[in-house]
Chains A and B, each alone.
Chain A
Amino acid sequence: MTARVGPAIVVRDLTRRFGTFVAVDRVSFEVEQGEIFGYLGANGAGKSTTIRMLIGLLAPTSGQATVAGHDVATAPGRVKESIGYMSQKFSLYLDLPVEENLLFFGAAYGLEGTALRARAAELLERVGLDAQHEATTGDLPGGQRQRLALACALLHRPGLVFLDEPTAGVDPVARRAFWDLIRELARGGTTVFVTTHYLDEAEYCRRIGLMVDGKLVALDTPAGLKRTWVPDRVLVARGRGLAEAGPRLGGAPGVRAVAPFGAGLHLRVDPERFDAARVAAALREAGAEAVEVEEAAPTLEDVFLAVVDRDAGGAP
């Protein structure tokens, strides 16, 4: 393959208002060639609105965006030729057979004849739907629909795909299968811009952007985010009498957070003052028995909560 130049996406101060409501607020970021870029945020954070501006479905109120080397404002046609898009709401023709959807969208991208048929067959096999090619699309279960939608987005071999919540409402096994496809795609050199609600999925991303109320509040690798946003030591305690002992420990200096976690406790502590052994001792002192404490890696959920906490008033 030829060497690619420049980032896949460059966004500068991208803003979109709906009336007085600011759905996306001066967002800036870059997405590198070949990476899986995760875009995270709660409902209404502005994820879909950002994507819609990047693919030319929605005009930005202000700001610039360059996608696959083309300015979204001046060359929307070039952008469309270079990208694939899977919308949040399933939007293929439910009344057509699986294969007809592929043939239609392939022709819309300018493919034709045997090349188109071969490409459709290849993708059906790749997403594991070759046995269903004659099925009516509307009869497919959720996971298969999403894989078909992905196949439709890949027909013209785009170097960059936008997947807007591709696994929403899909069962865990199907989610796992879908992410296998995404990672395979990225290994093949395709840049993937993906939004999700599921924090476990976000771990698969090389970098993550966190959206809160239209603003991009954090952007880093998963490990980097954890270092920055969860500097505390995260510990998990198990034993008897923790329900009573935990809250007693809650006010102690150096203990930042105590929360029930299954039958045990989840603690965030100042690493300068506490480690697993000291926390175990403190819990025993507070009345718990048979205490075992282990250090746990912070999750993206911890990051997300810390970010939202900060946004709600406190500082990190």
Chain B
Amino acid sequence: MSAESEKFWSTARRQLAAVFRKEVRQTIRDKRVMVLLIVAPLVQTVIFGFAVDFDVDRVPTVLVDQDRSDQSRLHARRLLADQTLRFAGQVGGIPEAEQDLDDGKAAAALIFTPGLASDLASQRPAEVQVLLDGSDPNRAMVASGAVSRYFGEVGERLIRERLEAAGRPAPAQVVLVPRVLYNPRLKSAPYIVPGIAGTLLVIVTTLVTAMGLAREREMGTMEQVMVTPIRPLWLLIGKLLPFLVIGIFDVLLLVAVGSWLFEVPLRGSLLVGAVGVLLYLFSTLGVGLLISTLSQNQQQAFLGGFIFMMPAILLSGVMTPIRGMPGWLQAITWLNPVRHFAEVMRGVLLRGAGFTDLWFQLACLAALGVGVMALAVARFRTQLG
């Protein structure tokens, strides 16, 4: 009995090692796959980190100063000194400013109408106009916010000065002191890089696994393997293991690049992160396997991978906040491993969250991973059996 089980395990080990080795050799020899697995995630993280910048500053602004007073010049200088607005030139009148907005030379125009200084001095209501390019609503909001915040402060100061000049105490006011936790400079990159890692792993693991197995089917090599006494389970593990390793390597790479280029912190426990990564890769590999069992050839597998990837990435909360989605879509995102993984990674990296904070996401990942993998393995084995 023990001799028998020893023989079983030694054969199993040989077969598993053979498949693993073969898979690694094939992957290393295929330059395109190597690029897909290692260079592409790196390049994409860097590009996304820089390009997908939700921070809005330096909104190009033209100035129309028809008042031409010391006062108007002072306010223009102070307002544009803030990094939010960037001086993009001065024009004579509103039509020219509109033209600049039309041409895209500026996204905002700051207009001081004649009489601004005298209105302020004589305590009449003064008016400052802002023309905004609303095609990027986020940017328009930021620009108008910056102008109204500035003139709000100007107005407040004027009131205070006048009350004090009249010998009356200034009224108590509410002062807002925001303090931002976890990502104090409110940069986008630290928020987006952990999410990007999740979406890139889908490509590396789901797509490559699905295509790899479909290729074996298409080329007939699967049939040749199936007439050997190799067990489907060892075949499967040997085929998936290299991509698990590459997936883990990619995570480490992305976290390193993130912290080096984008100041993504690493506050939490590596153990929690590792558990998240493993559970996540389990589900993405499972999806890849499942897709391959549903495809006859590489083309179908590629299509299947894409059909999974597009919604998985869009509904992950990485690109657009989940809270902004309709309720039924929000419900669907619970089934999306990318969402849970992005939350785990952000939690671990940015907030230093541990098991107690993230147990729900980890449990979701585990349930999804085990469920998908079990389904895929069952399909795979009946197809081979």
Known pairs A55-B227, A80-B228, A95-B30; A108 contacts B221 (CB<8 A):
no
Interface string of B1-45 (1 = CB under 8 A from A): 000000000010011011101100110011000000000000000
Q: Are B18 and A107 neighbours in the complex by a CB distance under 8 Å?
A: yes
**Alpha-carbon distance A90/B221, docked complex (angstroms):** 8
Instruction: Give the chain B neighbours of A77 by CB distance below 8 A.
Output: 229
**Alpha-carbon distance A253/B280, docked complex (angstroms):** 84
**Alpha-carbon distance A191/B30, docked complex (angstroms):** 39
**Alpha-carbon distance A109/B219, docked complex (angstroms):** 21
Please tell me if B225 contacts chain A, counting CB pairs below 8 Å. Answer: yes
**Alpha-carbon distance A111/B221, docked complex (angstroms):** 19
Interface string of B213-253 (1 = CB under 8 A from A): 00000011101111111100000000000000000000000
Instruction: Give the chain A neighbours of B227 by CB distance below 8 A.
Output: 55-57, 80, 83, 85
**Alpha-carbon distance A92/B227, docked complex (angstroms):** 13
A168-201 contacts to B (CB < 8 Å): none
Name which residue of chain B comes closest to A149, CB basis: B224
A147-178 contacts to B (CB < 8 Å): 152
Q: Are A108 and B230 neighbours in the complex by a CB distance under 8 Å?
A: yes
Interface string of A78-107 (1 = CB under 8 A from B): 001101010101111111100010011101
Q: How far is the CB of B53 from chain A (nearest CB, A)?
A: 41
**Alpha-carbon distance A136/B131, docked complex (angstroms):** 67
**Alpha-carbon distance A240/B209, docked complex (angstroms):** 70
Q: Are B18 and A91 neighbours in the complex by a CB distance under 8 Å?
A: no
Known pairs A104-B18, A110-B15; A95 contacts B26 (CB<8 A):
yes
Partner among B25, B29, B224 whose Cβ is within 8 Å of the Cβ of A85? B224
Instruction: Give the chain A neighbours of B30 by CB distance below 8 A.
Output: 95
Q: Are B15 and A108 neighbours in the complex by a CB distance under 8 Å?
A: yes
Q: Are A110 and B22 neighbours in the complex by a CB distance under 8 Å?
A: no
Please tell me if A112 contacts chain B, counting CB pairs below 8 Å. Answer: yes
Instruction: Give the chain B neighbours of A89 by CB distance below 8 A.
Output: 220
Known pairs A95-B29, A95-B30; A108 contacts B220 (CB<8 A):
no
Instruction: Give the chain B neighbours of A83 by CB distance below 8 A.
Output: 227
How would you classify the secondary structure of chain B's contact residues: helix, strand, loop or mixed? helix
Instruction: Give the chain B neighbours of A56 by CB distance below 8 A.
Output: 227
**Alpha-carbon distance A141/B30, docked complex (angstroms):** 21
Instruction: Give the chain B neighbours of A57 by CB distance below 8 A.
Output: 223, 226-227
Q: Are A91 and B223 neighbours in the complex by a CB distance under 8 Å?
A: yes
Q: Are B220 and A87 neighbours in the complex by a CB distance under 8 Å?
A: yes
Number of B positions contacting A (CB below 8 A): 23
Q: How far is the CB of B264 from chain A (nearest CB, A)?
A: 37
Q: How far is the CB of B381 from chain A (nearest CB, A)?
A: 13
Partner among B14, B22, B221 whose Cβ is within 8 Å of the Cβ of A91? B221
Known pairs A107-B14, A110-B14; A100 contacts B219 (CB<8 A):
no
**Alpha-carbon distance A89/B217, docked complex (angstroms):** 12
Interface string of A108-124 (1 = CB under 8 A from B): 11111000000000000
Q: Are B25 and A107 neighbours in the complex by a CB distance under 8 Å?
A: no
**Alpha-carbon distance A54/B130, docked complex (angstroms):** 83
Instruction: Give the chain A neighbours of B229 by CB distance below 8 A.
Output: 77, 80-81, 108-110
Name which residue of chain B comes closest to A103, CB basis: B18
Which residue, of B19, B21, B221, has the highest number of chain A Cβ atoms within 10 A?
B221
Instruction: Give the chain A neighbours of B221 by CB distance below 8 A.
Output: 91-93
Instruction: Give the chain B neighbours of A92 by CB distance below 8 A.
Output: 221, 224
**Alpha-carbon distance A123/B26, docked complex (angstroms):** 23
Name which residue of chain A comes closest to B225, CB basis: A108
Q: How far is the CB of B239 from chain A (nearest CB, A)?
A: 12
Partner among A91, A95, A111, A152 whose Cβ is within 8 Å of the Cβ of B220? A91
Interface string of A31-55 (1 = CB under 8 A from B): 0000000000000000000000001
**Alpha-carbon distance A55/B15, docked complex (angstroms):** 20
Q: Are A105 and B226 neighbours in the complex by a CB distance under 8 Å?
A: no
Q: How far is the CB of B4 from chain A (nearest CB, A)?
A: 14
Given A107-B18, A108-B225, A110-B11, 14 additional A-B pairs, CB 8 A: A57-B226, A57-B227, A89-B220, A90-B220, A91-B224, A93-B22, A93-B221, A96-B22, A96-B29, A100-B25, A107-B14, A107-B15, A109-B229, A110-B15
A-B contacts, 28 of them at CB < 8 A, read A56-B227, A57-B223, A77-B229, A80-B227, A80-B228, A80-B229, A81-B229, A83-B227, A87-B224, A91-B224, A92-B221, A93-B219, A100-B22, A100-B25, A104-B18, A104-B21, A104-B22, A105-B228, A107-B17, A107-B18, A108-B15, A108-B19, A108-B228, A108-B229, A110-B11, A110-B15, A110-B229, A112-B14
Q: A residues engaging B (CB < 8 A)?
A: 55-57, 77, 80-81, 83, 85, 87, 89-96, 100, 103-105, 107-112, 152
The 9 A-B pairs with the shortest beta carbon distances in the complex, nearest first, are A107-B18, A91-B220, A108-B228, A91-B224, A104-B22, A85-B227, A108-B230, A80-B229, A89-B220
